[in-house]
């Protein structure tokens, strides 16, 4: 998964997927880079979200990429 933040305003966030009627965390952090890359075990989910819990100013994400990466 790759997330591109526009600017550097996000201070606290979680990346989550939806499984069995609830949101599950698979990554979190205190700063997001302009081109953050996240590797995780393969999951099957109907939804995915970036939950921004704190930011300096109005946060902006310009792109999110989710794909299967072969080992």
7 pLDDT tier (thresholds 50, 70, 90):
confident
Number of domains in the chain: 1
Query: Comparing 3-7, 34-38, 60-64, which segment has the lowest mean pLDDT?
Result: 34-38
Asked whether residue 71 is domain-assigned, the answer is: no
Please tell me the total number of residues recorded for the chain in this structure.
71
| Per-residue pLDDT, 60 | 92
Is the CB of residue 66 less than 8 Å from the CB of residue 57?
Answer: no
Q: Which of residues 44 and 58 earns the better pLDDT score?
A: 58
Across the range 4-12, mean pLDDT stands at: 91
Asked whether residue 6 is domain-assigned, the answer is: yes
Asked whether residue 28 is domain-assigned, the answer is: yes
Domain of 36, in residue numbers: 2-65
Name the 3-class secondary structure at 8: coil
Asked whether residue 7 is domain-assigned, the answer is: yes
Asked whether residue 70 is domain-assigned, the answer is: no
End-to-end CA distance of the chain: 14
pTM for this entry: 0.81
């Amino acid at each position: 998964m790759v997330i591109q933040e526009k600017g550097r305003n996000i201070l606290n966030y979680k990346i989550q997927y939806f499984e069995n009627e609830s949101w599950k965390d698979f990554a979190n952090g205190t700063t997001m880079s302009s081109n953050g890359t996240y590797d995780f075990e393969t999951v099957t989910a109907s939804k995915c979200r970036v939950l921004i819990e704190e930011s300096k100013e109005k946060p902006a994400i310009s792109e999110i990429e989710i794909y299967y990466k072969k080992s």
